[in-house]
Homo-oligomer: A and B are copies of this chain.
């Protein structure tokens, strides 16, 4: 992970809520100004079990948020794209991350010292509200994920995640930065079965794949498969 030399927020391509709060409160503490980091693919942004010291804001690129389970098996909860608070779920308490985040491509992340955020958080109500909003959204999503992982069969789970990826890319035709194994980790199924199901869907003309390019041909059928389980 390469940190850029104290890039000032003014030059940042994406202004976050924290920035606008900083402006309005005219905070003089320039010492703990947000630090801008450039990340390469596979770079770890935060690691499950380590201490939460900064608020993380994804400025550019994309990243996967996942929990590291037993026997080195991961479950990807969702994919992040800017603008997104990364460290959100573990903001105040708990002191340790309960998940990991890794860059899926070249990305930029802003590291904001937690002490600064806490200060702003208490002074500024709008910041508080916008952070809390994102909070609640994530939780609702995780609840759906639990149901899906437990009560749908792999066919339905893969269908669901293909729809998710399509919505994520705002298109029926997209190129994922995920390996087959990682697509499997989104649905908590084995790599082999992931491949098998993608081939199956292709044969059934529901999707078309060419390497990491995926096109959804029959979205309504895919949705039906996802709903059935």
A-side residues, CB < 8 A to B, are 67, 69-71, 73, 75, 89-94, 96, 98-99, 121-122, 125, 128-129, 132-133, 135-137, 139-140, 142-147, 149-152, 188, 229
Contacts and interface: CB of A to CB of B under 8 A. Distances in A.
Contact of A132 (B70, B75, B93, B142): B93
Number of copies: 2
Given A90-B140, A92-B133, A136-B93, A146 B145 contact: yes
A129 B128 CA distance: 11
A149 B147 contact: no
A70 B149 CA distance: 11
Contact of A147 (B67, B128, B135): B67
Contacts of A152: 70
6 contacts: A69-B150, A71-B229, A93-B132, A93-B137, A149-B149, A150-B150
A89 B137 CA distance: 10
A150 B70 CA distance: 9
Given A69-B150, A128-B128, 12 more contacts: A69-B151, A70-B147, A70-B151, A71-B229, A89-B136, A92-B129, A92-B133, A92-B135, A93-B132, A93-B137, A142-B146, A146-B146
A69 B143 CA distance: 10
A146 B229 contact: no
A73 B143 contact: no
A182 B176 CA distance: 40
B146 A92 contact: no
A69 B147 contact: yes
